[in-house]
């Protein structure tokens, strides 16, 4: 209940700010929600360019996982979301970043589980089986 109230207050504050910004289209606030992704460097470059052209724009960035970020987008708390996975095309308009994120597994050296997992992955790749496929 408290989280819902906080979301409503944030939405009301944002609406109020947007009405005040209607007179000055070149300024205002833009809210981003970012899921963890290396691709945010592209967003940072775009913001840097926009700041030079529109110095009165203010950027607000929050982070979270895809579910948290899309929830804020659905509630109108943020204007844009950067996700680490495909979005629902029936629900959102989206643009793809030029690169893909590279994910990996990191475990302590000498860990017996890590050694077994590494051998299993090597075998799967050599056999042409994707580790995510079910056998």
Alpha-carbon span 88 to 66, nearest angstrom: 12
Q: What is the CATH number of the domain that holds 47?
A: 3.40.190.10
Kindly report, residue by residue over 66-124, the tens digit of the pLDDT.
899 999 999 999 999 988 788 888 899 888 877 777 777 777 877 888 878 888 888 87
Number of domains in the chain: 2
- Give the total residue count for the chain: 135
Same domain, 17 and 50: yes
DSSP codes, 56-120: TEEEEEEE--HHHHHHHHHHTS-SEEE-SS---TTT------SS---------TT-HHHHHHHHH
Q: How many alpha carbons lie under 13 Å from residue 15 in its C-beta half-sphere?
A: 8
Please check whether residue 31 lies inside any domain of the structure: yes
Q: 53: which 2 tokens?
A: 């052209």
Look at residue 31 and give its three-state secondary structure. strand
Same domain, 12 and 75: yes
Please check whether residue 74 lies inside any domain of the structure: yes
Q: Which residue has the tokens 């009405």?
A: 19
Same domain, 25 and 72: yes
Please check whether residue 127 lies inside any domain of the structure: yes
Please check whether residue 88 lies inside any domain of the structure: no
Same domain, 71 and 116: no
Kindly report, residue by residue over 3-47, the tens digit of the pLDDT.
777 776 776 677 667 656 655 557 788 999 998 777 788 888 888
Q: Is the pTM of this model over 0.75?
A: no
Structural domain containing residue 25 = 2-82
Please check whether residue 38 lies inside any domain of the structure: yes
Q: Using CB atoms within 10 A of its CB, is residue 4 exposed (0-12), middle (13-18) or buried (19+)?
A: exposed
Angle between helices 2-21 and 66-75 (to 10 degrees): 60
Same domain, 66 and 121: no
Please check whether residue 89 lies inside any domain of the structure: no
């Amino acid at each position: 209940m408290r989280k819902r109230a906080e979301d409503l207050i944030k939405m009301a504050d944002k609406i109020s700010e947007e009405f005040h910004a209607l007179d000055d289209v070149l300024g205002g606030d833009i809210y981003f929600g970012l899921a963890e992704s290396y691709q945010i460097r592209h967003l940072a470059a775009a913001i840097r360019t926009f700041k030079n052209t529109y110095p009165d724009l203010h950027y607000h960035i929050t982070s979270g996982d895809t579910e948290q970020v899309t929830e804020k987008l659905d509630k109108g708390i943020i204007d844009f979301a950067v996700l680490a996975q495909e979005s629902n095309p029936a629900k959102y308009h989206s643009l793809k970043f030029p690169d893909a994120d590279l994910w990996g597994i990191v475990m302590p050296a000498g860990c017996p589980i890590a050694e077994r997992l590494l051998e299993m992955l090597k075998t799967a790749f050599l056999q042409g089986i994707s580790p995510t496929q079910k056998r």
